């Protein structure tokens, strides 16, 4: 599988002067939202969909809870925890390139046959965190986001899973971040300004 990942990259980027941009520009650029708004959406979202290259090159996507860490000098990171074995783990080991999608707004407009939407897609490299302190910090950040007020419970669970070696935490270092809003939502915003 590792060969598939690297072959796909070579085919996409070429070499020398022929090399294409690693990430495509958005076709409907007028609907693109700012990087700062993308980051705000990642901060407040509760669920995202992780996209991976799965078995035999088939796409594999899985919804999960996550925490976004902003950074003033980069696009930031996305973190999540999971079981220590499974399709997701195997896919990341085979190819660390991932995408992550969040839908912030999804309002179907049946009469107009369209949708007011706001979404973000992040691209980056996933890595497994190692060492008790890194695992503890990552798992407790998720606990703080999803279980505020229950610190004793999630911290105890973190310690138990570290001790039992059943905790896996993944960090995605973001390389590209893009967001888009539906035309109807864009027009609505323009009217308010």
Dig out the tokens for 160 from the structure: 């138990």
- The SS3 call for residue 176 is strand
Q: Is the pLDDT of residue 107 over 90?
A: no
What pTM was computed for the model? 0.84
Give me the domains of the chain, ranges plus CATH numbers.
28-192 (2.30.110.10)
pLDDT band of residue 112 (cuts 50, 70, 90) is confident
Give the pLDDT confidence of 48-103 residue by residue, as tens digits: 999 999 999 999 999 999 999 999 889 999 999 999 999 999 999 999 999 999 99
Give the pLDDT confidence of 128-187 residue by residue, as tens digits: 999 999 999 999 999 999 999 999 999 999 999 999 999 999 999 999 999 998 888 878
Q: Which residue has the higher pLDDT, 108 or 161?
A: 161
Q: What percent of the chain has pLDDT over 70?
A: 89
pLDDT band of residue 21 (cuts 50, 70, 90) is low
- Rounded CA-CA distance 51/86 in Å is 15
Q: Is the pLDDT of residue 11 over 70?
A: no
Q: For residue 66, give every residue at least 6 positions away whose Cβ sits within 8 Å of its Cβ, in sequence order, or none.
A: 45, 47, 48, 78, 79, 80, 100, 142
pLDDT band of residue 5 (cuts 50, 70, 90) is low
User: Would you state the pLDDT for residue 7?
Assistant: 39
């Amino acid at each position: 599988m590792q060969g598939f990942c690297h072959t796909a990259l070579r085919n996409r980027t070429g070499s020398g002067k022929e090399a294409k941009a690693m990430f495509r520009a958005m076709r409907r650029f007028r609907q693109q939202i700012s990087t700062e708004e993308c980051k705000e959406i990642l901060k407040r979202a509760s669920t995202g969909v992780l996209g991976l290259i799965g078995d035999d090159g088939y796409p594999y996507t899985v919804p999960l809870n996550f925490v976004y860490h902003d950074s003033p000098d980069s696009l930031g990171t996305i973190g999540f925890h999971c079981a220590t074995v499974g399709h997701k783990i195997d896919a990341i080991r085979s190819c660390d390139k991932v995408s992550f999608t969040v839908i912030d707004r999804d309002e179907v407009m049946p009469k107009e046959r369209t949708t007011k939407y706001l979404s973000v897609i992040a691209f980056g490299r996933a890595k497994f965190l190692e060492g008790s302190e890194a695992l503890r910090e990552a798992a407790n950040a998720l606990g703080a986001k999803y279980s505020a007020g229950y610190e004793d419970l999630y911290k105890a669970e973190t310690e138990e899973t570290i001790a039992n070696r059943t905790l896996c935490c993944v960090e995605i270092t973001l390389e590209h971040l893009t967001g888009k809003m539906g035309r109807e939502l864009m027009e609505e915003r323009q009217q308010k300004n």
